[in-house]
Structure 1
Amino acid sequence: MSGSNPVWAERTPPAFFRRWRAEWRDEGLSPAHYLDFEGGLRAVLVAAWLFCPETVAYRGCVFLKERFCRGTVDDWFAKPGDDRQRIEAVVNHVELWDTFANTPLTDGDRLGEELPQLALALGECWRGVLSVRHPERKITVEVSDEEDGSYGPTVTFWTRPATSAFGRSGP
């Protein structure tokens, strides 16, 4: 799983949800039912910050507000050879293993195995949200899962000015 155009096409319900549905003996139950039965509204309300993150526009770039530090970004801009897209990609890099550091990922629920699907969903959401917020920019979202397993599923993005039909940068 890697690419700059994340698409969550193969939607397999998580193992814990399939077990829950089997316990109810009702294959018609959907993930929305699970959220309602299991009191998931609190988690969904907080997850909105993950799927629809606050952003900061600074020095011609777009950054995740939660990861943005003006001094650090200014230091990176001062280094020769560092470009805006690379700086954005580094600042906006989210490792899902770190995001869920306090959640057991290898227990019976096998949540660690579900993280690549979450990364794809997150990538699709970010691409849509950022494209609407910044129509003057071309948004590139990258979702990856390192083959050596060193970082687990990651999501990042970078931007550049959109090009008009006449070959010039947009407004």
Structure 2
Amino acid sequence: MDDLDIHDLTEFRSWSTAFDPPIDDPTFFLSNHLSITSALLFSDLMFPACVLVRDCVIRKEIYDPDTFERWWRETGGATEAIENVLNHVHLWDVFEPKEDAEYQALEILAPRIAQTWKTHAQGQFPGRTICTEVNDDYGPTITMWSARGTRTTGRDAS
């Protein structure tokens, strides 16, 4: 797990050692802790559906016509700036790390999410070059945009 032993995470270690002998199966841990609803919502975070609005690739779950129009006006239609503002997630807003190992886990999770965003969006818009970035804006932050000079065919949501 990218330089993090799952036993470094207190929640897993506490659960695992409650059994005799301890259980080290992450799948069994998930089956005891993860609801179908949480799994589905997490998969939506990992593999977001996107829409094309005025040449901007926007994550569908956060697309709001009024917000988009406000950013369109404020940026003078700068598509990359709009995509960068709308297509970002601060993992600290999604997860509340409680210990050093959980902060480290988010540092591992962020590039994984960025990679799936890039791959999934590229599949939705194959005529476009999708870019992602992870930075430490407010904790691990993932951002996605499409490189200029690339176009795709497809239905525009606007």
Q: Is the 8 A contact 2:126 2:152 kept in 1?
A: no
Q: Which runs of 5+ in 1 are unaligned?
A: 1-8, 164-168
1:47 equivalent in alignment to 2:42: yes
- Segment drifting more, 42-51 vs 79-88: 79-88
Structure 1 runs, 4 residues or longer, greater than 4 Å off: 79-82
> 2:116 maps to which residue?
125
In terms of fraction of residues, the more helix-rich structure is 2
Aligned ranges for residues 75-94 of structure 1 at < 5 Å? 75-79=70-74, 83-94=78-89
Counting matched residue pairs gives: 149
Aligned equivalents of 2:111, 2:127: Cα separation in 1: 24
TM-score of the superposed pair, with normalisation by structure 1: 0.70
Identity %: 30
1:92 positional shift: 0.7
Aligned equivalents of 1:115, 1:145: Cα separation in 2: 11
Q: Secondary structure at the match of 1:48?
A: helix
Q: Is the 8 A contact 1:119 1:143 kept in 2?
A: yes
Aligned equivalents of 1:170, 1:129: Cα separation in 2: 15
TM-score of the superposed pair, with normalisation by structure 2: 0.75
Aligned equivalents of 1:134, 1:156: Cα separation in 2: 17
Aligned equivalents of 2:30, 2:49: Cα separation in 1: 24
> 1:152 maps to which residue?
139
1:90 positional shift: 0.6
Aligned equivalents of 1:81, 1:155: Cα separation in 2: 24
Q: Is the 8 A contact 1:35 1:41 kept in 2?
A: no
1:10 equivalent in alignment to 2:2: yes
CA 1:11–1:65 in 2, change beyond 3 Å: closer, same or farther? farther
- Segment drifting more, 133-142 vs 33-42: 33-42
1:99 positional shift: 2.1
Larger relative contact order, structure 1 or 2 (CA cutoff 8 Å, min sep 6): 1
1:160 positional shift: 2.8
Aligned equivalents of 2:40, 2:69: Cα separation in 1: 33
